[in-house]
Amino acid sequence: MRTPIIAGNWKLNNTVGEAVTLTTELKQLVADASGVEIVVAPPFTALAAVSATIAGSNVCLSAQDVYWEERGAFTGEVSPTLLKDVGCEYVIVGHSERRQYFGETNEGVNRKAKAALAQGLKPIICVGELLEEREAGRTEAVIATQVAAGIADLSTSDLLSSVIAYEPVWAIGTGRTATPAQAQEVHSLIRSLVALASSDDVAGQIRIQYGGSVKPDNAAALLTKPDVDGALVGGASLDAASFAAIVKAAN
């Protein structure tokens, strides 16, 4: 059985004080949640404070991005070791906003995932198609390219330490959501791609999240699909009660 993973990506939101308030409330609301992994991804500036706030709770810490170099003249970047140092267990790589606004490439996503894994961080590797790609019937081709490149040269143990997040770009922050059937179709495709790249056994164990306007009122329908192993939550993760409701939908 794959343990569902519900991760909240706060994006560019929350001061340190706001982050502490949010996680203090959240950890109380989900204290009795079992059989589900809970992850929050604050901005870099709040990582240390959130790490201290959730210490001893059932909430894990993730960063929203990472660089593949460990140290050096890379102004503005943050290495895997620095993320580990503040208590991160996970890191998101290849989010559609990184690809769309900051020129993130498939090769770069793979380098970041490898660097994270080398230092004991678990990458959440994001893939997803644009609206025009879906309307042109290119969803399968786009996902196949992104998955193959994102997990290229990862060992079996690396793959089992990774999470793949499917985020249809047309459903992020738009209020539109892939139907449970659409989500299942692509999640099943991703699992088959992992099997081709590795083995059926690995594909059966790797967790695949859905990300795209997940809210308390649609979470249960998505999470009941056989290949949907959790959610990468955006806006709803900024409200403790809403995020907790999504966690409980995965219970």
Examine the residue annotation and report whether 89 is marked as an active-site residue of this protein: no
Q: Which of 37, 95, 97, 129 is catalytic?
A: 95
Angstrom distance (rounded) from CA 186 to CA 184 = 6
Examine the residue annotation and report whether 167 is marked as an active-site residue of this protein: yes
Q: Which of 129, 133, 167, 187 is catalytic?
A: 167
Annotate the chain with three-state secondary structure.
Answer: CCCCEEEEECCCCCCHHHHHHHHHHHHHHCCCCCCCEEEEECCHHHHHHHHHHHCCCCEEEEECCCCCCCCCCCCCCCCHHHHHHCCCCEEEECCHHHHHHHCCCHHHHHHHHHHHHHCCCEEEEEECCCHHHHHCCCHHHHHHHHHHHHCCCCCHHHHHCCEEEECCHHHCCCCCCCCHHHHHHHHHHHHHHHHHHCCHHHHHHCEEEECCCCCHHHHHHHHCCCCCCEEEECHHHHCHHHHHHHHHHCC
Angstrom distance (rounded) from CA 194 to CA 224 = 21
- Which residues are catalytic, by number? 95, 167
